[in-house]
Amino acid sequence: MFSHWFDKKRDTMPAGPAAGLWGERVPRHSGAWSVLRKRLQAEPGLRVFDTGYTSPTNINFLTGLGHSVYQADLVADAWDGVWRQPGGEDGETEWDVDGFLEHSFSSGRMYDVALLWTALDYLPEALVAPVVGRLHATMNPGGQVLALFHTKTQGEEAVRCRFHVTGGDDVEVQLTQPFPIQRAFTNRSIERLFSAWSGHRQFLAKDSVSEVIMTR
């Protein structure tokens, strides 16, 4: 998705650690973050669920605005081997869906904002709909989810990145622990997946990524 950005920016950015989990950060304009940021700046005391690799930048920014933050790396947790079970008669992998949801979503905690990023593109198929369902159940009325969806599964568009929020209209993108992309979403498949939600707003992007804000 963004690896060509890193190549283009490399000559103009300060020297830093090798690309990877702690690679350089590249700013990416995000219309969805711009909208959500304004709400976060206007309404202190919200509960935010960040589903990406732990980002001290995100924690500091959000708590500095007066919000509480809960983080869980859904993709890394899903693929760590704990939730896979011996295959059934058809030989397909089975998943402990309930166990994964209980592990990832703190019991009894309700959220106002969720930063889902690109998690749904990398989760095992068996966990995608249950994660969206649990998000719906744990979001307060009017709660919003920021999600990004790949439109391609090959080449640069398939790389998984880490996202850091900023005080402007950009998010900073950073190469992170790689996981194989599982799917690409169309507008129609996104609408079906979030059919229980009251509404959604889509934002155009120039890098084969669809940005959406879903409202509970």
Contact 136, 107 (CB under 8 A): no
Kindly report the number of other CB atoms within 10 A of residue 36's CB atom.
19
**Tokens at residue 162, please?**
């880490």
> Total domain count for the chain?
1
**Tokens at residue 36, please?**
């959500």
When the pLDDT of each residue in the chain is averaged and rounded to a whole number, the result is 86
Query: Structure pTM?
Result: 0.86
57-97 pLDDT, tens digit each: 999 999 999 999 999 999 999 998 899 887 666 667 789 99
The whole-angstrom separation of Cα 150 and Cα 184 is: 5
**Tokens at residue 171, please?**
């998010």
37-58 pLDDT, tens digit each: 999 999 999 999 999 888 899 9
Range of the domain at 135: 3-215
Kindly report the number of other CB atoms within 10 A of residue 188's CB atom.
8
The whole-angstrom separation of Cα 22 and Cα 94 is: 33
Domain of 127, CATH number, reads 3.40.50
Contact 197, 136 (CB under 8 A): yes
